[in-house]
Amino acid sequence: MSQQIKKLHILTLNGPNLNMLGKREPAHYGRESLETISENLHALAAKLGVTLTFEQSNHEGVLIDHIQSAPDLAVDGIIINPAAYTHTSIAIRDALLASKIPFIEVHLSNIYAREPFRHKSMVSDIAIGTIAGLGGDSYQLALRGLVTKLHQNNRGD
C-alpha cells in the first residue's frame, strides 16, 4: 500500500499597515499592493502543490490568535511579516515559540539598511530564515525556502 503524502499547509501573516502597500512609502515598500502579493503567492503555492492561507491584521492580538490556532488547523509552516511588531512584540515571539511551527520572517525593505530602531527583530533568532529587502519577491523566496525545508524535515534530511 502506498503512503499518501500530506499536502503542506502554509500560513502567511502580515502585520500592521501592510494593507496600505502600494500607497504607503513606495520608496521603501514598492508599489505592489498586498492583494497582488497575495495573488502571486497563491499562484506559486498552487504550482508547488501547497495550501496557502494569507492573512493581514493591524492588531497584534489577531496575529497572535492566528499563530495560536495554527497547530489545530494543521499548519505546517508560517511565513510572517510582523511589520512594526518585528521590533516590539515579545507576545508574537512567544506565540511563535509556543506553536512549535517552523517559520520564515520576511520584510519588503531591508530593515538593516534603515533607521537603527528597525535593526532589532524580536523573532529572527527563532526563525529558520529571514528574507529582507527584495519587495514582494521576499514572499516568493520565503515560500520556496519553507516548502523545501519542510520536505527535507519530512524525509529526515
Residues noted as catalytic: 29, 107
CA distance 150 to 102: 8
Q: Which residues lie below 8 Å from residue 76, measured CB to CB, with a gap of 6+?
A: 8, 9, 10, 101, 102, 150
CA distance 24 to 47: 30
Burial 80-106 (b: 16+ CB within 10 A, else e): bbbbebbbebeebbebbeebebbbbbb
Burial 33-58 (b: 16+ CB within 10 A, else e): bbeebbebbbebbeebebebbbebbe
